[in-house]
Structure 1
């Protein structure tokens, strides 16, 4: 297994290399990522290339047995380029050009920038594509991050119009699909179609969704431009990856992954300004997204948080044991390599308060010792753990296009797609059900339960897969706002939940959008949630059952007694419909009943304790047990059998005591 660091040799005098690299070797580091921000060194003047610094750095790594991943430097075009060729620069939603001075100051639609990208990537590939110590490439860095996923410059307008012409062929088809007769928006020439810059009210939602699709396609083409050059000049055993961030950007990571050998991910559970980390479920969801981007493939964490992070504001200091816990969480969910960000905190620049394994003085202390403990533990596992099978029984649907549609029309001042997706994902995570993320085109065969959160923008391919799955005996969980939109982002003209009325056995004749100052109440009337009350926030679908059984109703509102949660038998399967944003306590009780009935395994644990099971080819079971609670220990009831710590050999039966932020990997013994 590779465990490494992100290193910036250009930021340190060469004498410091003489200290850093031996320290890395002593720690057990076996890979570094370098060069992703080095364009101005590689091409200090237009057309003049100098790779001396990176030649020397790679050679020094090789002397110490440390492999190298090279980043293409296209996330930071140099100052000379922005000055001489301002058409490479993006523009914001107001049409204001984004200045040189930070990073990601380019639009992928600039033909000039595409030319310079091809040239620098080709020069790097010619230089290092056969180098024995370079094991792989990372294209660019964090595509689309920091609002760079959408650009509204003239180059983007030109490219958007060409993209639309290719998609729709005729203006009549575009006008019909978008419904441009509304507000006299009919287009009679392709050149009339804008990029969606700021307007007084709101743009046509179909235009907005197509613009997001265009932006995603543009990034896919730009990434492919790089991967094709890298493959042409590189050894067959060199991999190509990209380090994603998952914030519902106008990127289609699953589509982009087709041009990558595997995906990578930058895991920052906490960042500057946050008082505490994001939830364990949200971190787990990001790992599941990575695993789902290329089914059957593991992934890398190319940047794993190790110290307090921030630019102008510095975030939470990871507590002792937290880096180990986050590492175990990543590996248990499919990570095959961990690269810690960063080796040492920089003395200058925007990221000078991004703390690393070493802080500004370069002295090894607590974080160094913690990484040493992690590496020693991972060496004790060998590759058995990362090669063991992660067998998911519960699928959770995620489609980035659905996220875009929600971001265009969020309905409530309190609703975001990410938070609502996590509401319905987190309840499964709390029960330690083994989850996979599925998207359009994925098979649902083999899953016991499929959860489909806020399925607003429908996908025809997934619709058919879902119906087949339920008819054959599968269990489907729908939530409010299911079946509302066609793929063109127009509302269906049939009674909601649209195509799923018969499947769910319900009709929705009315609904209410609740703002942040409003809430109703839902009370269970049947099954595991009988007598359980929950606040009903954000949205209330007023459900009229046709064949469905009522499990919960609304109270304390003019629609008292109206169905809020239902269950329907369809074909050989079962379909649940949750009509409001109910609280975790009710969802977890409902999910526990759903999973038990469907035969999906759960592993009960105290709040904040995550358990992930993997099974080796020889039948050996690995159980990663992680206490995310920073203030309290936990007593965990173990599955039947005898378990031993994979590192110390200590044996456990029935229960396990974990310290706060404690984590352990157990194996059957």
Structure 2
């Protein structure tokens, strides 16, 4: 297994390099990622290339048995390029050109920038494409991050219009699909169609969604441009990847991943200004997204937080145990390599306060020792753990376009797509059900339960799969605002939940969007949630049962007594409908009942204790992770004997794990 660091030789005197490499070898590091921000060194002036610094660094690593991943440097176009070719700069929604001075200051729609990108990637590939120490390539760095996913300039507009011509063929079809008769927006020439810069009110939601799709496709094409240039010169053994971030950007990671050997991900459980890490379930969600991006294929964590992070504001200091815990969580959910960010905190530049394994003084301390322990433990496992199968019983649907549609029309100031996704992902996580995050292209037959959070923007193909799956015996959990829009961001003319109404066995004839300060009440009236009272926020669907039975009802409003949660038998299967944003205290017992009825294996653990399984029954690995920073917790291990491969100790029955403890156990025959 590869465990490495992100290293920036250009930021340190060459006299320090050998000491850094010596300490890396002491730590057990076997791979480094370098060069992703080095364009001005590689091409100090137009058409003049100088790779001498990286030649020297790579040779040093090679002599010491450390492999190298090279990043193409296109996230940071150099100053000479911007001054000579200002047309490469992106434009924000207010029409303001973004300045040189940070990073990601380019638009992928610039033909000028595309040509410069092809040239530098080509030169790098020719230089290092056959180098034995170079094992792979990372294209660019964090596409679309820091609001660079959308650009609104003149060249962007021209390309958007070209893209629309490809999609619609005729203006008549576009006008009909978008409903441009509204507010007299009918287009008679392609050139009339704007990019959605700032307006007094809001743009047509269909235009906005198509613009997001265009931006995503533009990044796909730009990434493909780099991949194609690399493949002209690199050895077949060298891989190509990209380090994604998953923050609602106008990127379709799954589509882009088709051009990559595997995907990578930058895992930051805490960032500048945050008083504590994001929830364990939220971290798990991101890992499941990574694994789902290439339909279950393993991925790399190309940047794994190793110290307090931040630019102008410094975030929470990871506690002793966090680095191992987050590393184990990543591997348990499908990561095949961990690269810690960064080796040493920079003494200058925007990221001065992004702390690494080493701090500014370059001395090995607590974090160094913790990473060393992780690497020593991983040597015991070899590749058996990361090669073990990951088999999920529960699928949770995710579509970036659904996220974009929600961003366009959140409908309540209380609505946040990630938060609502987590609301319906977290109850399965809480009982340690093994989960996948899937898209519309996956088949559903292998899953026992499919959860579909806030399915606002529907896709005909996936809707058909859901109906067939439910009728064939599957269990589906639908939520409020399901079936509202078609794929063009146009509201259905059917009674909600639209095309899903029959399998849900309900009608939604009215609903209420709840704003900040508005709280309703829902009370369980049947099954595992009977007698449980929960606050209801964000949204209330007034559910009229047709063939469904009522599991919970609203209280304290004019629609007191109206159904809020229902269950319907359809064909051989079951469909649940959760009509409001109720609390975990109601959703968790509901999910326990749903999962038990569907035959999904779960493990009861205390709050903040996560259990994950990989491998075949009888010889599987079980990770136990206590995310609690203050307290130890105990729980009952699954049946059998479980051995710690590191110490050889065998456990069965009640197991206690300390605060921020993490351990991997193997089932004994």
TM-score, scaled to structure 2:
0.99
Partner of 1:661: 660
Within 5 Å, give how 1:5-20 maps onto structure 2: 5-20=5-20
Q: Deviations over 1:304-359 (max 9, x none)?
A: 00000000000000000001000000000000000000000011000011000000
Partner of 2:129: 129
Residue 74, structure 1, aligned to residue 62, structure 2 = no
Say which SS state the counterpart of residue 396 (structure 1) adopts: strand
Q: Deviations over 1:443-482 (max 9, x none)?
A: 0011000000000000111011111111110000000000
Within 5 Å, give how 1:170-209 maps onto structure 2: 170-209=170-209
5+ residue gaps in structure 2? none
Partner of 1:58: 58
Instruction: Give the superposition deviation at 1:302.
Output: 0.1
Residue 106, structure 1, aligned to residue 109, structure 2 = no
Instruction: Give the superposition deviation at 1:237.
Output: 1.0
Instruction: Give the superposition deviation at 1:56.
Output: 0.4
Residue 648, structure 1, aligned to residue 663, structure 2 = no
Partner of 1:463: 463
Partner of 2:572: 572
Q: Deviations over 1:220-259 (max 9, x none)?
A: 0000000011112111111000000000110000000000
Instruction: Give the superposition deviation at 1:366.
Output: 0.2
What is the CA–CA distance in structure 2 between the aligned matches of 1:150 and 1:295, rounded to whole Å?
27
Say which SS state the counterpart of residue 451 (structure 1) adopts: strand
Partner of 1:361: 361
Please say which of residues 653-662 and 47-56 is displaced more in the overlay: 653-662
Please say which of residues 482-491 and 293-302 is displaced more in the overlay: 293-302
What is the CA–CA distance in structure 1 between the aligned matches of 2:129 and 2:620, rounded to whole Å?
40
Partner of 1:24: 24
Instruction: Give the superposition deviation at 1:297.
Output: 1.5
Residue 421, structure 1, aligned to residue 448, structure 2 = no
Instruction: Give the superposition deviation at 1:622.
Output: 0.6
Partner of 1:46: 46
Within 5 Å, give how 1:626-637 maps onto structure 2: 626-637=625-636
Partner of 2:249: 249
Instruction: Give the superposition deviation at 1:213.
Output: 0.2
What is the CA–CA distance in structure 2 between the aligned matches of 1:646 and 1:110, rounded to whole Å?
54
What is the CA–CA distance in structure 2 between the aligned matches of 1:394 and 1:410, rounded to whole Å?
27
Instruction: Give the superposition deviation at 1:619.
Output: 4.0
Within 5 Å, give how 1:587-602 maps onto structure 2: 587-602=587-602
Partner of 2:533: 533
Partner of 1:155: 155
Say which SS state the counterpart of residue 641 (structure 2) adopts: strand
Partner of 1:407: 407
Within 5 Å, give how 1:90-489 maps onto structure 2: 90-489=90-489
What is the CA–CA distance in structure 1 between the aligned matches of 2:645 and 2:195, rounded to whole Å?
56
Instruction: Give the superposition deviation at 1:280.
Output: 0.6
Say which SS state the counterpart of residue 531 (structure 1) adopts: coil
Instruction: Give the superposition deviation at 1:644.
Output: 1.2
Alpha-carbon contact 2:118-2:226 (below 8 Å) kept? yes
Instruction: Give the superposition deviation at 1:636.
Output: 2.2
What is the CA–CA distance in structure 1 between the aligned matches of 2:58 and 2:433, rounded to whole Å?
43
5+ residue gaps in structure 1? none
What is the CA–CA distance in structure 2 between the aligned matches of 1:231 and 1:584, rounded to whole Å?
49
Instruction: Give the superposition deviation at 1:657.
Output: 1.2
Q: Deviations over 1:53-88 (max 9, x none)?
A: 000000000010000000000000000001110000
Instruction: Give the superposition deviation at 1:655.
Output: 1.6
Q: Deviations over 1:367-412 (max 9, x none)?
A: 0000000000111111111011111000000000000000000011
After the TM superposition, list the runs of 4 or more consecutive aligned residues in structure 1 that deviate by more than 4 angstroms.
Answer: none
Say which SS state the counterpart of residue 57 (structure 1) adopts: helix
Say which SS state the counterpart of residue 142 (structure 1) adopts: coil
Alpha-carbon contact 2:618-2:667 (below 8 Å) kept? no
What is the CA–CA distance in structure 1 between the aligned matches of 2:490 and 2:176, rounded to whole Å?
11
Say which SS state the counterpart of residue 24 (structure 1) adopts: helix
Instruction: Give the superposition deviation at 1:296.
Output: 3.9
Say which SS state the counterpart of residue 405 (structure 1) adopts: helix
Residue 516, structure 1, aligned to residue 513, structure 2 = no
Partner of 1:623: 622
What is the CA–CA distance in structure 2 between the aligned matches of 1:316 and 1:637, rounded to whole Å?
32
What is the CA–CA distance in structure 2 between the aligned matches of 1:492 and 1:648, rounded to whole Å?
60
TM-score, scaled to structure 1:
0.99
What is the CA–CA distance in structure 2 between the aligned matches of 1:47 and 1:121, rounded to whole Å?
13
Say which SS state the counterpart of residue 551 (structure 1) adopts: strand
Distance 1:146 1:78, change over 3 A: same
Please say which of residues 542-551 and 287-296 is displaced more in the overlay: 287-296
Partner of 1:611: 611
What is the CA–CA distance in structure 2 between the aligned matches of 1:512 and 1:135, rounded to whole Å?
55
What is the CA–CA distance in structure 1 between the aligned matches of 2:266 and 2:309, rounded to whole Å?
13
What is the CA–CA distance in structure 2 between the aligned matches of 1:418 and 1:253, rounded to whole Å?
16
Alpha-carbon contact 2:295-2:438 (below 8 Å) kept? no
What is the CA–CA distance in structure 2 between the aligned matches of 1:22 and 1:271, rounded to whole Å?
30
What is the CA–CA distance in structure 1 between the aligned matches of 2:165 and 2:64, rounded to whole Å?
55
